[in-house]
Amino acid sequence: MKRTIAKRSRRKRVRSLGTPQRPRLTVYRSLKHIYAQVVDDLSGRTLVATSTVRARVSPGGSNTAAVQVGKQLAELAKGAGIDKVRFDRGRFRYHGRVKALADAAREGGLSF
């Protein structure tokens, strides 16, 4: 019970709204896959999305798969004209695969 409350409060604390000028990069991590998308919250649209499922990388929760997803997301975002985003890690700690994805997106040219 305490764990659920902590996750809920952490999620509320780290979330910020994405605007058309600076959309929100949100990350979801499951046991096998990692998903990332760039969202404009004001219009309610997903601008760019990718995951280990779409990127056709080997699943299994590895950091190398997260790095590949981060690089692919940065390429897609640059193609859509997005260079600045707000990072929303959700309820996940900035550690491991989430950090690897964020660093790879930064290397790909996204700034946050």
Evaluate if residue 1 carries a pLDDT over 60: no
* pLDDT score, position 2: 67
102 domain-assigned: yes
* pLDDT score, position 73: 96
Query: Which residues share a beta bridge with 87?
Result: 25
90 domain-assigned: yes
Mean pLDDT over all residues of the chain? 89
Q: With contact defined as beta carbons under 8 Å apart, do 66 and 34 qualify?
A: yes
How far is it, in rounded angstroms, from Cα 68 to Cα 47? 19
CATH number of the domain bearing residue 20: 3.30.420.100
112 domain-assigned: no
The domain in which residue 14 lies consists of 2-107
Whole-Å CA distances, 9 to 2, 15, 86, 91: 11, 10, 19, 8
The total number of structural domains that make up the chain: 1
Q: With contact defined as beta carbons under 8 Å apart, do 83 and 111 qualify?
A: yes
Q: Phi, psi at residue 14, to the nearest 5°?
A: -90, -10
Who wins on pLDDT, 61 or 84?
84
* pLDDT score, position 17: 75
Q: For residue range 3-58, what is the model confidence (pLDDT) as tens digits?
A: 678 777 776 776 777 878 899 999 999 998 999 999 998 899 999 999 999 877 77
Q: Picking from 23-27, 53-57, 66-70, 81-85, which range would have the lowest pLDDT averaged per residue?
A: 53-57
Whole-model pTM: value is 0.84
Angle, CA 36 vertex, CA 30 and CA 40 arms, to 5°: 135
74 domain-assigned: yes
